[in-house]
Amino acid sequence: SRRLLSESLMEVRMVVTEDKASGKRREEEGEEEEEEDVGSISSLGQDGFDSDPDPAPEQDSDTDDDETDREMASMGGDQGDFFEEQDKSKQAEASEEVQEKATWQSRAKRLEQAGEEVDVSVLPFSLTRDLRKEEEAGEPRNKFFFKIDGASSNCVRNAWRRAGGVRTHKGGWNVWWGRPLKQEEYKKLNSFQRVCHFPGTFFLGRKDSLAKSILSFRRSHGPASFTYLPKTYIHPEDRERLLADWKEKGSRSTYIVKPRASARGQGIKLVVDPESLAPSSSCVVQEYIDKPLLIDGRKFDMRLYVLVTSFDPLRLYLYDDGLARFCTEKYDEDVRGSSGDLFRHLTNYSVNKTHASFLAREAEEGEQHPLKWSLRALKEHLQGAGVDTRRVFEQVEDLIVKTLLAVEGRINSKLQQLVPYRNNCYELFGFDVMLDASLHPWLIEVNTSPSLAADSPLDKRIKNAMVVDMFNMLGICTYSRRKLKQLRDRKERLSSLAFSSRLQRASVVDKHRQAEVCKGRRDPLEDLTELDEEIIRESEEELQLAGGFKRLFPSPSSERLRRLIQPRYNNLLLARWLERPHALDRLKTRRRSFAGAEEDTRCFSSAPKRQANKVLRIVGRKEAREAAGRGRR
């Protein structure tokens, strides 16, 4: 007990030090604050990423979600709650029955066969099923370890724990949640580890970087390519242009001023005279949307949850529920006269929840949240008011896809430099979007670590179901760390043998084929490689296991965006595949023509390295053994 207490106190001291250093960094990268996690530490563990982890003592103040269903069943809900019970059943079915779906079972079988050398086992995630309490589940072959470094949420931790997860502070973890990794940390990942950030997503999370990326996108593809960003100035670089535009409009405009890197509404203000900004002040200035769509006289925005499972090829999804967040005070159209009253103009929940009127309404309304509706309730309300919500949200989806297209080239460059395996990274983004009075959507900001804190039954219902669906899509696995190390040592010996020159020649041939595809001279579905087929199969399985997520890209409608998309080989491969009916059936037929191909690869689906992903595909097991024998002689 004394030892555990001593370790706990030491970790708390480390976290306090780390939080002071990381708090500023979280704001700079567009992250939102969540529950403080005193169990997190900044180091990856002295033994590195591949060491055998030790279970960490449970020091979190959070509680398991064993009562989630009862709480959801008893909740009063939000506006438009008459259809929430049906939605809840739909979500539960999508999440709870995942291990009974044929697609999940076939994927699990495929991954476990491919990873049999390291005892791979695919994990199902559930809202209510708790493997820790099921005696018949028995002890798993290999434990599932999660690591948290930074802020986290109950819904994430509890989803992992219900799947049998054990927290660790050392290396050898399966999943990571918290801060983005440092460059050298990305390079150390093994093929079975999943981290919740891609490198380089500060291009989305920082307000100045996001604006620059979108403005660059518009310069390349024309002003009509992206019509969802309010007129934006990076100050002080654009100060002269800002003042010229302001004077040209007769000083009638109002501007919203934001720090370049902040979250939770910190440092935001309205100005009617941009000349009042200090010439040296570093900020982002945007024209204020002074005619927003109002509900009950109050301004609101939408928090949309967007999941990217891959940037190469780009695969992105929108969750079918989210939040509408309201100001506490009614909107005043005399913006110039009320510019100092942020409770009328800022929809940030972190700002409005401090208002006295919110606290009073919260006490009166109980579970009917005074500041939040679900996204489904908002759609129902708009439909009741005669709004064509299908058309509105088609524009919202277009906004999301084009925002990701504006940064995918830069993020892919980071991926190629830093991340060793294709499936190491995924990321959940929080898109904040506002509708104006003419129902046009405007992008307010993108959060790279959106808050998943559940401070109301509404939050808990949406966010718990969402993270379960997300983890089931990813195909998270346990594995034998000892056997993986032995396998990697064996591969390193093989890679230095005489046949390596043949592999390099084969890789050059495949790069030439990819270049021909990108130039439009060749069909990407001709002469599919093992990796091509793996990417197609992953994409199809992921889509069928998406639960409450809707795929926005690639999709049959993304053909209209072709001129905006960089001709990246894997994107072209999936786009061409979508043009074929009965895609998986065609893939199965095609694979039968690859005689013996299954024996040429025994690696897990995420295992092919970016720089050496042809080795196991081209060299058969028999040839590898013969070469290894020659090497020993």
Question: So where are the chain's domains?
Answer: 2-75+122-196, 203-448, 497-632
Confidence check: pLDDT of 581 > 70: no
- Tokens representing residue 154 in the block: 């109950």
Q: Which of 181, 103, 110, 176 is nearest to 146 (CA)?
A: 176
Instruction: Count CB neighbours of 395 within 10 A.
Output: 16
Q: What is the pLDDT of residue 216?
A: 95
Calpha distance 518→522 (Å, rounded):
8
* Cβ burial, residue 246 (10 Å; 0-12/13-18/19+): buried
Q: Which of 351, 359, 299 is nearest to 329 (CA)?
A: 299
Which stretches within 447-529 are classed as H helix? 457-474, 481-495, 500-518
Q: Are 455 and 362 in contact (CB under 8 A)?
A: no
- Per-residue pLDDT, averaged over 53-70, amounts to 47
- Tokens representing residue 551 in the block: 């795929």
Q: What is the pLDDT of residues 68-80, one digit of tens each?
A: 433 333 333 344 4
Sequence-distant (6+) residues with CB within 8 A of 631 are 493, 496, 497, 498
* Bridge partner residues of 449 (DSSP): 31
Calpha distance 290→254 (Å, rounded):
8
Pick from 138-152, 254-268, 308-322, 375-389: least confident: 254-268
- Per-residue pLDDT, averaged over 431-435, amounts to 97
**Structural element, H or E, at residue 256:** strand 255-259
Pick from 74-88, 365-379, 417-431, 470-484: least confident: 74-88
In the CATH scheme, what architecture does the domain 203-448 have? 2-Layer Sandwich (3.30)
Q: What is the pLDDT of residue 331?
A: 87
Give the number of C-alpha atoms closer than 13 A to the C-alpha of residue 116, restricted to the C-beta side. 7
Which stretches within 366-499 are classed as H helix? 375-384, 389-418, 457-474, 481-495
Q: What is the pLDDT of residue 31?
A: 56
Backbone region of residue 581 per phi and psi (left: phi > 0; alpha: psi in -120 to 50; beta: other values): beta
* Cβ burial, residue 199 (10 Å; 0-12/13-18/19+): buried
Q: What is the pLDDT of residue 456?
A: 85
- Tokens representing residue 632 in the block: 């020993």
Confidence check: pLDDT of 284 > 50: yes
Give the total residue count for the chain.
Answer: 633
Sequence-distant (6+) residues with CB within 8 A of 633 are none
| Cα separation values, 70 from 64, 66, 153, 328, 421, Å | 13, 9, 20, 30, 41
Top-confidence residue, 231 or 23: 231
- Three-state SS string over 124-175 comes to CCCCCCCHHHCHHHCCCCCCEEEEEECCECHHHHHHHHHCCEEEECCCCCCE
pTM for this model (two decimals) = 0.81
Q: What is the pLDDT of residues 19-29, one digit of tens each?
A: 444 445 444 55
Calpha distance 576→101 (Å, rounded):
27
- Tokens representing residue 165 in the block: 């997860």
Is cis: bond before 581, omega within 30 of 0?
Answer: no
**Diameter over CA atoms, the chain:** 87
Calpha distance 451→151 (Å, rounded):
9
Q: What is the pLDDT of residue 454?
A: 86
Q: What is the pLDDT of residues 173-189, one digit of tens each?
A: 999 999 999 999 999 99
Q: Are 242 and 274 in contact (CB under 8 A)?
A: yes
Q: How far apart are the first and last CA of the chain?
A: 56
Instruction: Count CB neighbours of 576 within 10 A.
Output: 16
Q: Are 468 and 128 in contact (CB under 8 A)?
A: no
Q: What is the pLDDT of residue 67?
A: 40
Share the mean pLDDT of the chain.
77
- Tokens representing residue 238 in the block: 């654009």
Pick from 177-191, 316-330, 350-364: least confident: 350-364
Confidence check: pLDDT of 508 > 80: no
| Cα separation values, 50 from 46, 61, 486, 605, Å | 11, 28, 12, 19
Our separate counts of H helices and E strands in the chain read 23, 18
